[in-house]
């Protein structure tokens, strides 16, 4: 009995072409991370649920993939809960582990566990998949890769500035025009405090974050429902170009201490950036909030300028993420690249270079079974000379062998038949031009390497 194979919802297979393009993304990102002095780590796909839960808000907890305990896990579950059939209450008794939801929280856990081996400030990057039990849609997958760079153990705003440069450099390398939005949670807090949203800060951020989508009137309406002064808040929540005039005008109207601190941070960051000329558009966006709970200072978000897609990158400063795991006073800041969304955007914008699929350079085509040994020998010789080579595994019709070369975009075919064998040479065919000449294997190597 055979069954129709399938893969879980929201997951994908990747073809060789897709992988070549994904590798292009990863290697570009990685190259620039290294340029800034970051070192790579990896963490396990599975984390203890106690590490993950409560870090992303209630919504985040429901989106965590939980993994059932081994063994006869139901035996250990309390009978009352089993009868109740309440999944949420039963989970802690039957699942101790879950798939990671992002790379930042596992990183904070890593820092705490390895604090004695780490030299601070610690600059790490991490390129790994994460999982979310979200319903899939455009640009949303249940398994996707994030590329994270973070620095922990310093609260210097130099790093805020550097991270912005990383965003700019990476997207410049992709030739993808983006808008890099920045804001500071302290400014948001200041506005909230000043306008009577202190108690409802989290709801406040969720609402103003939707300004683009639902419009000013609707936002005002929803803010008013929270009980604060919606009009006063709206006047402070502007989205503007990143310039000194705008900031000074905001500074005049800001009275809250936390808010002023946020503005000072932003100013210092801009001071560092004054010598750097960003290729992409950088804007201060007073309505940028970001849902994740742990951000405390600068926050970033990146959207593609010409493609309709959610954010393709985001990040920010978190002052006390390691504190949750028992290491106080270690501030961190980091950003993330959503590799799969970047893939979709690059594909839609037709921005993948043709050269990403670097295929085999030479196919050796044996015409007789007696040529197989020599073909194998030549292939090894070429490989050791740095030419990626393949041997067609049997003396099939030449047509078939050349079709194989053609479909795999192989540049050269070395035909090895009775005559060539006797002469100690091959017929080297250039599959782009169609030209062909009889040469020895040393000349083949020289010609392809030239």
Partner RNA sequence: GUGGUCGUAGCUCAAUUGGUUAGAGCGUCAGAUUGUGGUUCUGAAGGUCGUGGGUUCGAUUCCCAUCGAUCACCCCA
The binding site for RNA (CB under 7 A) comprises 4, 6, 8-10, 57, 59-60, 63, 102, 132, 134-142, 144, 146, 206, 209-210, 213-214, 290-292, 302, 308, 310-314, 336, 338, 340-341, 367, 397-400, 402-403, 405-407, 415, 417-420, 427, 429, 431-434, 436
For RNA, the closer CB: 275 or 433: 433
The burial of 361, by beta-carbon neighbours within 10 Å (0-12 exposed, 13-18 middle, 19 or more buried), is given as middle
Which of these, 174, 27, 47, lies nearest to 113 by C-alpha position? Answer: 47
For RNA, the closer CB: 250 or 287: 287
The span from the CA of 399 to the CA of 331, in Å, is 64
**Closest distance between RNA and the C-beta of residue 158, in Å?**
23
- Pairing relation of β-strands 389-391 and 362-366? parallel
346: phi then psi, degrees, rounded to nearest 5: -65, -40
- 3 state SS of 124: strand
**Closest distance between RNA and the C-beta of residue 285, in Å?**
14
Which of these, 176, 65, 200, lies nearest to 129 by C-alpha position? Answer: 65
**Closest distance between RNA and the C-beta of residue 396, in Å?**
8
For RNA, the closer CB: 180 or 269: 180
**Closest distance between RNA and the C-beta of residue 186, in Å?**
18
**Closest distance between RNA and the C-beta of residue 400, in Å?**
6
**Closest distance between RNA and the C-beta of residue 32, in Å?**
17
For RNA, the closer CB: 181 or 247: 181
- Residue whose entry in the numeric block shows the structure tokens 């582990």: 97
Tally the C-alpha atoms within 13 A of residue 420's C-alpha that lie toward its C-beta: 24
**Closest distance between RNA and the C-beta of residue 303, in Å?**
8
**Closest distance between RNA and the C-beta of residue 72, in Å?**
26
Which of these, 257, 41, 111, 281, lies nearest to 182 by C-alpha position? Answer: 281
For RNA, the closer CB: 139 or 228: 139
**Closest distance between RNA and the C-beta of residue 302, in Å?**
7
- 3 state SS of 1: coil
148 touches 108 (CB < 8 A): no
For RNA, the closer CB: 191 or 364: 364
For RNA, the closer CB: 270 or 428: 428
Look up residue 200 and give its DSSP letter: T
133: phi then psi, degrees, rounded to nearest 5: -85, 45
The span from the CA of 167 to the CA of 401, in Å, is 45
For RNA, the closer CB: 228 or 313: 313
The span from the CA of 435 to the CA of 437, in Å, is 7
For RNA, the closer CB: 308 or 394: 308
**Closest distance between RNA and the C-beta of residue 111, in Å?**
19
Which of these, 363, 341, 415, lies nearest to 130 by C-alpha position? Answer: 341
43 touches 99 (CB < 8 A): no
For RNA, the closer CB: 248 or 436: 436
Tokens of 208: 């103003």
Question: Considering just the CA atoms, what is the radius of gyration of the chain in Å?
Answer: 28
39 touches 125 (CB < 8 A): yes
């Amino acid at each position: 009995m055979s069954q129709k194979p399938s893969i879980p919802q929201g997951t994908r297979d990747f073809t060789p072409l897709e992988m070549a393009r994904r590798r292009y993304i990863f290697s570009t990102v990685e190259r620039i991370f290294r340029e800034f002095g970051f070192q790579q780590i990896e963490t396990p796909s599975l984390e203890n649920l106690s590490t993950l839960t409560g870090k992303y808000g209630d919504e985040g907890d429901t989106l965590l993939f939980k993994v059932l305990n081994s063994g006869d896990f139901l035996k250990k579950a309390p009978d009352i809960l089993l009868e109740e059939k309440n999944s949420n209450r039963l989970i802690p008794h039957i699942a101790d582990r879950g798939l990671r939801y992002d790379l930042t929280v596992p990183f904070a856990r890593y820092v705490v566990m390895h604090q004695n081996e780490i030299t601070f400030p610690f600059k790490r990057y991490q390129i790994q998949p994460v999982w979310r039990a979200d319903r899939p849609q455009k640009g949303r997958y249940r398994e996707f890769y994030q590329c994270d760079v973070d620095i922990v153990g310093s609260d210097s705003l130099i790093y805020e500035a550097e991270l912005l440069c990383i965003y700019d450099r990476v997207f410049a390398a992709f030739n993808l025009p983006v808008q890099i939005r920045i804001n500071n949670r302290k400014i948001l807090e200041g506005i909230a405090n000043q306008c009577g949203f202190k108690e409802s800060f989290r709801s406040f951020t969720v609402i103003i974050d939707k300004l683009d989508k639902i419009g000013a009137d609707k936002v005002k309406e929803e803010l008013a429902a929270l009980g604060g002064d919606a009009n006063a808040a709206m006047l402070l929540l502007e989205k503007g170009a990143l310039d000194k005039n705008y900031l000074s005008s905001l500074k005049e109207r800001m009275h809250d201490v936390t808010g002023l601190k946020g503005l000072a941070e932003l100013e210092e960051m801009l001071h560092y950036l004054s010598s750097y000329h960003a290729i992409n558009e950088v804007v201060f966006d007073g309505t940028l909030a970001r849902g994740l709970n742990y951000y405390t200072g600068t926050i970033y978000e990146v959207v593609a300028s010409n493609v309709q897609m959610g954010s393709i990158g985001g990040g920010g400063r978190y002052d006390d993420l390691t504190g949750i795991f028992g290491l106080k006073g270690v501030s961190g800041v980091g950003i993330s690249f959503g590799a799969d969304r970047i893939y979709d955007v690059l594909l839609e914008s037709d921005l993948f270079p043709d050269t990403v699929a670097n295929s085999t350079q030479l196919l050796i085509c044996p015409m007789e079974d007696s040529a197989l040994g020599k073909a194998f020998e030549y292939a090894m010789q070429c490989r050791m000379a740095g030419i990626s080579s393949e041997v067609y595994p049997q003396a099939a019709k030449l047509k078939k062998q050349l079709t194989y070369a053609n479909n795999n975009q192989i540049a050269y075919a070395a035909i090895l038949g009775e005559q060539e064998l006797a002469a100690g040479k091959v017929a080297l065919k250039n599959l782009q031009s169609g030209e062909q000449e009889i040469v020895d294997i040393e000349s083949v190597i020289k010609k392809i390497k030239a």
